[in-house]
Structure formats: C-alpha cells, structure tokens
Structure 1
C-alpha cells in the first residue's frame, strides 16, 4: 500500500451535518461513520467515559473522494472545543471546468466566496471559498493538462 495524505477536519458538534453536506456534493458513500456512544468501553483507543452531551457526536467519519479520503470527527469534553483557523484549505483537483463549477457552487452555498471560479495566469480554472461550516476550500482544474 502506498503512503497517502488525507485531510482530517475537526468540528464542534456539527461534523455529521458537514459530512452529509459534503456527501451531497461529492456523492459516494461513507466508508465509516461512528458516534462516540458506539465505542466499546475499555477497548484500546476508546474514551474512558462518554458524557450524554458527547454520545451523539461523530467519533470518526470517512468519505472517499477519488483517490483521497476526507475524514473528520467532533470534539468532545476531553479534547475541548476546536478553534477554527485560516491556516489550511482543502484543495480539490477536478477533471473538467464543468465539474469544478458543480463542486464550487455546491460547497460554497451558504458560505463566503473569496475568489470566484475563473481562468488564472498560471493556466488553471480556479476558485476559493469558505463553506458554511467554516472550512476553507480551493477548487482547481488544470486547463493545460497533458493529454
């Protein structure tokens, strides 16, 4: 198996909503989705005790998108709330300008667009935005790809 890098997003209780939204745009099925209440007590990797507040939060979710797996979870009382920062973006490379528009329009709904999809000086069709969950995204179609 080759080494791979996959983005892992952390949320403060709305991970399931975010991933259902991402699934509605990208399609596919979750390869895994589990809540903190589903963890077997006393097993390696389990939290010692799950509060009622955390029971229905997402412990882990995986959504395959092409050769990448977008992963995520919610914070819990032990980890504390996640402070969202502007120091990362999820970059999606697509196979056509039309697919780029579809993904950009879907994911940016209700969010903040920083750079609408458009041609760039470096030969890409590209756009940037923050989605309604506070996650920054870049959508890229390399127009000058080798055939």
Structure 2
C-alpha cells in the first residue's frame, strides 16, 4: 500500500505545485482540471480551470498530490482541512476494509464508489478530525 500527502488549495494549486517542482525537481505525473469532470459544463471558466488533481513524484515511494476546492464543494477551503492522507490499497476489498474501519465514528464526505476517472475512491474525516482519502487503482 502507498501512502501520500494530499493537499487542498483554494484556486492556487497550480502555482504551489510549480513552486514545489522548482524545489524538488521532476515532472508532474498527472494534471487534470475541473472542467474535465462530468457535470461541469455550466461552471465558470475560472472553476473549470482549477486543478481537480495534480501529482508530483518525490521518490519511488512518495508522491505529493493536490487539488483545488471548488465553490460549493464540501466545507470549502479552511486552513486545517487542507491536508489529507491519501492511501492506495492493493485491492477493492482492502479499500473497503480500510475505509469502513477508519471512518467509523467519523464523517463520510464521499462514500467508496467507482469514479469517472476509473478508480474506486472515497473520502472522510475520522473521529479524531484527520482527513483521509482511499483510492484503489488497477494502475498502481
């Protein structure tokens, strides 16, 4: 299983990651914009241009990841909710086990489900206030 830091920004994820890339080096392994998501046709160009996901590998085992929050998404951007732990289990079954165990007594933001980008994903805040993302991908 891989564990990665996942950062949330309020529209400046691209600027932040260009800065991080200038310090760490390397190349982005993925850059996806909000406008690529289904149901964003009526969003403003500013919202469509925000980053839905960006990844910067820092080593063979650690990837720094991020996205911009969008207006009306969850609780929005707040200092303190802008850091998540993203775990990448080796199977759907392990994803469900981890999601159900860690989210017990917490607040589910997005239940585990197949996503339009092809992964099985869910997110929640555990009963201690820690934000988690569980992402199973056949590609890892």
TM-score, with structure 2 as normaliser:
0.51
Pairing 1:83–2:78 present? yes
Unaligned runs of at least 5 residues, structure 2:
86-140
1:52-131 alignment runs, 5 A limit:
52-66=45-59, 67-79=61-73, 81-85=76-80
Aligned-pair CA distance for 1:48: 7.1
- 3-state DSSP of counterpart to 1:5: strand
Cα shift readout 1:63-117 (whole Å, capped 9, x = no counterpart): 0001201000001023153101299699xxxxxxxxxxxxxxxxxxxxxxxxxxx
Aligned to 1:119: none
CA distance in 2, matches of 1:87, 1:41: 24
Are the equivalent residues in 1 in contact too, given 2:69–2:76 (CA < 8 A)?
yes
Pairing 1:30–2:33 present? no
CA distance in 1, matches of 2:48, 2:82: 30
Aligned to 2:127: none
Count of residue pairs brought into register by the alignment? 83
Structure having greater relative contact order (Cα 8 Å, sep ≥ 6): 2
CA RMSD of aligned residues (A): 2.8
Pairing 1:51–2:44 present? yes
TM-score, with structure 1 as normaliser:
0.49
Are the equivalent residues in 2 in contact too, given 1:41–1:49 (CA < 8 A)?
no
CA distance in 1, matches of 2:49, 2:42: 13
Aligned-pair CA distance for 1:56: 1.1
Are the equivalent residues in 1 in contact too, given 2:9–2:82 (CA < 8 A)?
no
Structure 1 stretches of 4+ moved >6 Å: 86-90
